[in-house]
Amino acid sequence: MAYRIAVLVSGTGSLLQALLDAQSAGELQAQVAVVGSDTATAQGLARAERAGVPTFVHSYRTGDDRAAWDEALTALVAAHDVDLVVLAGFMKLVGPAFLARFGGRTINTHPALLPSFPGMHGPRDALAHGVKITGTTVFEVDAGVDTGRILAQHAVPVLAGDTVDTLHERIKVAERALLVHTVNDLASLHPRAAQGDS
């Protein structure tokens, strides 16, 4: 039975697209079972719909009960009986209920070589610091911000004349390949864990 993954997105969804493309090329040892977003207009949702993947939107508005939001997100993902959750440009932190259910099987990607430049602005901060090498990190999500166990990294050079956008785009090329590679590694390392876990 296929190793099932949920992918959570907030924006463009090019990382999601890399997973979908690898799947349709027969190069992903996993099935994208569901795509969720906190943003109804996320382009990633349209990408999932075009690929025939079920989607859900779970918005958070300022003032909403964060714990209830987290519990509902957990239930939405759990309903799809997934082995792995991939945060692919998902701009919300998952909370204690989510980690109680999916901790150890939730991964995120970051556009810098952690532990350097965590947070929302990895490419901008790397550029401002003047490093000549940065890159991308795939890590296991824990309760901190970009603090979890590092699973894979790929270095990317900073070039003369780079802007935040050109640097981020070069990192994202590496990030897409690294994410596909890491999902394949996890799928082959771990037997299907979530059977009947809905």
SS3 content of the chain, % helix, strand, coil (to 5): 35, 20, 40
CB of 93 to ligand GRF, least distance (A): 12
CB of 43 to ligand GRF, least distance (A): 8
CA-CA distances (angstroms) from residue 66 to 25, 59, 77, 96?
Answer: 39, 11, 17, 10
Taking the C-alpha atoms of residue 61 and residue 181, their distance in angstroms, rounded to an integer, is 34
Of the candidates 106, 92, 93, 109, the one whose C-alpha atom is nearest the C-alpha of residue 14 is 109
Beta-carbon count within 10 A of 184 CB: 16
Q: Does 109 bind ligand GRF (CB under 6 A)?
A: yes
Residue number with CB closer to ligand GRF (46 or 68):
46
Residues 76-105 that bind ligand GRF (CB under 6 A): 88-89
CB of 27 to ligand GRF, least distance (A): 18
Preceding peptide of 123 cis, ω within 30°: no
Beta-carbon count within 10 A of 160 CB: 5
Q: Does 170 bind ligand GRF (CB under 6 A)?
A: no
Tell me the backbone φ, ψ of residue 144, rounded to 5 degrees. -90, 180
Residue number with CB closer to ligand GRF (4 or 47):
47
Per annotation, catalytic residue among 58, 110, 121, 181: 110
Q: Does 135 bind ligand GRF (CB under 6 A)?
A: no
Q: Which stretch binds ligand GRF (CB under 6 A): 14-22, 47-55, 70-78, 147-155?
A: 14-22
Residue number with CB closer to ligand GRF (14 or 74):
14
Q: Is 129 a catalytic residue?
A: no
Q: Which stretch binds ligand GRF (CB under 6 A): 29-37, 77-85, 106-114, 149-157?
A: 106-114
The radius of gyration of the chain's CA atoms, rounded to the nearest angstrom, is 16
Q: What residues act catalytically?
A: 110
Q: Which residues bind ligand GRF (CB under 6 A)?
A: 11-16, 88-89, 109-111, 172, 175
